[in-house]
Amino acid sequence: MNHQGGPQGGDSGHIFPSGQQFDIAFDRQSATLTEVGAALRVYRQDGRDLLDGYGPEDMCTGARGQSLIPWPNRIKAGGYDWEGRHLQLDLSEPDKGGAIHGLTRWRNWNVQQRTADSISFAYTLHACQGWPWVLDCRLDYQLDDGGLSVRTTVTNRSEEPCPFGTGAHPYLSLGLPGQVIDAGLVQVPGGTYLPVDERGIPTGHTRVDGTEYDLRELQQLGGRHIDVAYTDLVRGGDSRARVKLLRPDQSGGVELWVDETYPYLEIFTGDTLPQPDRRRSGLGVEPMTCAPDAFNSGEGLINLEPGQSHTGQWGIRPL
Say which CATH number the domain at 19 has.
Answer: 2.70.98.10
Residues facing 205 on adjacent strands: none
**Is 1 among the domain residues?**
no
Element (H or E) spanning 155, and its range? strand 147-156
Contact between 69 and 104 under an 8 Å Cβ cutoff? The reply is: yes
Conformational region of residue 75, where left means phi above 0, alpha means psi within -120 to 50, and beta covers everything else: beta
- The average pLDDT across 125-142 equals 98
- The average pLDDT across 94-109 equals 97
Does the pLDDT value for residue 214 go beyond 90?
yes
With cut-offs at 50, 70 and 90, classify the pLDDT of residue 16. very high
- The average pLDDT across 139-159 equals 98
Write down the pLDDT at residue 179.
Answer: 84
Residues facing 256 on adjacent strands: 243, 316
Kindly tell me the sign of the dihedral angle through the C-alpha atoms of 226, 286, 27, 5.
positive
Average per-residue pLDDT in the chain? 95
Does the pLDDT value for residue 2 go beyond 60?
no
Does the pLDDT value for residue 281 go beyond 50?
yes
Q: What percent of the chain has pLDDT over 90?
A: 94
Gap between the Cα atoms of 146 and 261, Å rounded: 19
Sequence-distant (6+) residues with CB within 8 A of 40 are 31, 32, 33, 51, 53, 65, 141, 148, 150, 168, 170
Gap between the Cα atoms of 94 and 107, Å rounded: 20
- The average pLDDT across 71-96 equals 97
Kindly tell me the sign of the dihedral angle through the C-alpha atoms of 115, 116, 118, 121.
positive
With cut-offs at 50, 70 and 90, classify the pLDDT of residue 7. low
Classify each residue of 234-252 as buried b or exposed e, where b means 16 or more C-beta atoms within 10 Å of its C-beta.
eeeeeebbbbbbbbeeeeb
Does the pLDDT value for residue 92 go beyond 80?
yes
- The average pLDDT across 181-192 equals 98
**Is 2 among the domain residues?**
no
> What residue numbers bound the domain in which 187 lies?
7-318
Give the chain's end-to-end CA distance (angstroms, integer).
Answer: 34
Write down the pLDDT at residue 4.
Answer: 41
The model carries a pTM of 0.95
Name the DSSP letter for residue 2. -
In the chain, the number of structural domains is 1
Element (H or E) spanning 297, and its range? helix 294-297
With cut-offs at 50, 70 and 90, classify the pLDDT of residue 245. very high
Which amino acid type is present at position 218?
A: L
**Is 155 among the domain residues?**
yes
Contact between 195 and 166 under an 8 Å Cβ cutoff? The reply is: no
Sequence-distant (6+) residues with CB within 8 A of 111 are 22, 119, 120, 121
With cut-offs at 50, 70 and 90, classify the pLDDT of residue 75. very high
Task: Work out the widest C-alpha separation in the chain, in whole angstroms.
Answer: 57
Does the pLDDT value for residue 120 go beyond 50?
yes
Write down the pLDDT at residue 8.
Answer: 57
Contact between 74 and 97 under an 8 Å Cβ cutoff? The reply is: no
Contact between 239 and 259 under an 8 Å Cβ cutoff? The reply is: yes
Classify 30 as helix, strand or coil.
Answer: strand
Q: How many CA atoms lie within 13 A of 191 on its CB side?
A: 6
